[in-house]
Amino acid sequence: MPVEEFVAGWISGIAGLMLGHPIDTVKVRLQTQNTYRGIMDCVIKTYRRESAYCLAPFDLIKVRLQNQTEPRTRPGVAPPQYRGPLHCARSIIQEEGPRGLFRGAWALVLRDTPTLGLYFLTYEGLSRWLTSDSKEPGSATMLVAGGFAGIMSWTIATPMDVVKSRMQMDGLKRRKYRGLLDCVISSARQEGPGVFFRGLTLNSARAFPVNAVTFFSYEHLLRFLS
């Protein structure tokens, strides 16, 4: 068997597994549990309860690496604390224990859970408002509705995003917060309520184009496949 065929089969198999596994998870839960009203109810509840918490270690590593300002390699200069994602993960486990990888996880869950529903609600509402009853949303409508859906969701998410980032960086040198609530209270006392909207402008500037393209691609792919 040629090497090219082996590689192509291997990659396509992985892609198929990655694509099919979420659907298989929903299928198994619907088959074995009676707590869901249907397919979409199962998908939404699974995402809200588990996805953010499971992604917390990856988000933590991203934040730690983004906050690293030391140059990579320069003579006479101390090397950066983390040499890459894997080294960052190993260092956190060694210095803070396995639980350190989940620092800020509940803030991440509280950030993503309410904004998910608002995200799609805003998009659907704007799409219907900008489109007459007899027509499907046009490209401009998709871009505008998607962009504002992103801004709206990040407006709600930014306060908890600030808390999440602060808790993720806490423990790098010394522990400053005793928990999520302590982080909220301490931040408000020391810097005022405005601290919870720090970064909103950047979040919005990023959210509009990213989510505009996301919904634009999603809608056109749906039409193409159907």
Structural domains of the chain ordered from first start = 103-225 (1.50.40.10)
The CA-based dihedral angle spanning residues 59, 61, 63, 67, taken in that order and rounded to the nearest 10 degrees: -170
Residues with Cβ within 8 Å of residue 146, at least 6 apart in sequence? 123, 211, 212, 213, 214, 215, 216
Cα 201 from Cα 140, distance rounded (Å): 23
Q: What is the mean pLDDT of the chain?
A: 80
Report the predicted TM-score, pTM, of the whole model to 2 decimal places. 0.73
Query: Of the candidates 17, 20, 18, 49, which has an alpha carbon nearest to the alpha carbon of residue 33?
Result: 49
Per-residue pLDDT of the chain (226 residues; tens, 9 = 90+): 455 445 544 554 454 455 455 666 666 676 556 677 777 777 777 776 666 677 889 889 988 888 876 666 566 667 788 888 999 999 999 988 898 899 888 898 888 888 888 888 899 899 999 987 768 889 999 999 999 999 999 999 999 999 999 998 886 667 788 889 999 999 999 999 998 998 888 888 888 988 888 888 888 877 777 6
